Amino acid sequence: MTDHAEITHDRFRIERLYPRCLAHVWSAWTDPARKWTWFGGGGPMPQDYALDFRTGGHELARFVSPMGQHENRTTYLDIAEAAHIVFAYSMALDGRVHSASVATVEFDDHGGGTRLVFTESIACIGPSDGMAGRKHGWDALLASLDRLLAAETPA
């Protein structure tokens, strides 16, 4: 008999206002080098990072922390230029998938800046950092995006 891991489901939403125009914020999600800067922690883009930003495209990111080897595998399900991104992704630690999610990122012009709404539905499989860990991670990533945008010279 096989042991079955407990599965829990949850959902969260994060809203951010960025003082940069919609086109600039959008390109921070679509340009591999710019995305790596805020999503991957900066530094040179590693050979094992891949971003194929198109509907049906994939993204692969790996990183090491004191907890072990992490892997994020993403499939882009729907992309509407400068409006929204819908993607599904899984997170694994040392080869064991511990969460799978569907997420949307919505972009709106906000008086010359950009309103971003990130919504995620998550299934946690067995031991996992759960919804709190994933929300904490996305809060940190979106703060990193804010730092990238603030550091860039406006066009």
Instruction: Output the CA–CA distances (angstroms, integers) from residue 59 to 9, 75, 87, in the order listed.
Output: 23, 7, 10
Structural domain that includes position 40: 17-151
Q: What is the pLDDT of residue 3?
A: 62
Question: Is 116 within a domain?
Answer: yes
29 belongs to a structural domain: yes
Is residue 104 domain-resident? Answer: yes
pLDDT along the chain (155 residues), means of 10: 76 96 96 91 78 96 87 96 98 93 97 96 86 89 94 73
Can you give the CATH number for the domain in which 60 is found?
Answer: 3.30.530.20
The confidence score (pLDDT) of residue 1 equals: 39
The total domain count for the chain is 1
Cα 28 to Cα 36, 83, 91: the distances in Å are 9, 14, 22
**Which residues, listed in sequence order, are joined to residue 124 by a DSSP beta bridge?**
8, 99
